[in-house]
Amino acid sequence: MDHEATQELTTASVPAGGTTHVADEVIEKIAVAAARAVPGVVELGGDVARFFNAVLDRVGLDQVGDARRGCSAHVTGDAAVVNLVLVIQAGQPVPEITGQVRARVTEAVEAHGLRVDEVNIRVDDVAMGGPAVPSA
């Protein structure tokens, strides 16, 4: 290989410059998916969000807004702050559930290349009872 070919190959392998910004909405979707995966988390969103979601369910738009409901995020540079509103299953220990949510959300967001500075959680409600059990 001659010197010109080596120089061309080296120049071509240098990454292009520029910036990358991850939108707040992307982090919100990631955080919601991670939070929903925690056993004991029944739903996300406050009373008003859940009310409107119930209305949308009745008119056949049950998936509208679900991906980010109950979550807000703010990305600054390479760091994110995530705020979640949860409904947990009654009888579940709040510190244990919220600790697991923080850990899963942090892991999920950091897997996408951002640092998580805070995961703030507000437990808005508890769900009484469990899933319906069919009678024999």
Q: Is 95 a domain residue?
A: yes
Bridge partners of 43, per DSSP, are 87
Q: Is 100 a domain residue?
A: yes
pTM: 0.72
Structure tokens at 124: 């808005």
CATH of residue 73's domain is: 3.30.70.1350
Domain that holds residue 85: 21-127
What does the pLDDT profile of the chain (136 residues) look like in tens digits? 555 555 555 556 667 888 888 999 999 999 999 999 999 999 888 654 544 455 445 555 555 455 567 899 999 999 999 999 999 999 999 999 999 999 999 999 999 999 999 999 999 888 887 544 444 4
Q: How far apart are CA 67 and CA 84, in angstroms?
A: 13
Q: Is 92 a domain residue?
A: yes
Residue 15 DSSP symbol:
P
Q: Is 27 a domain residue?
A: yes
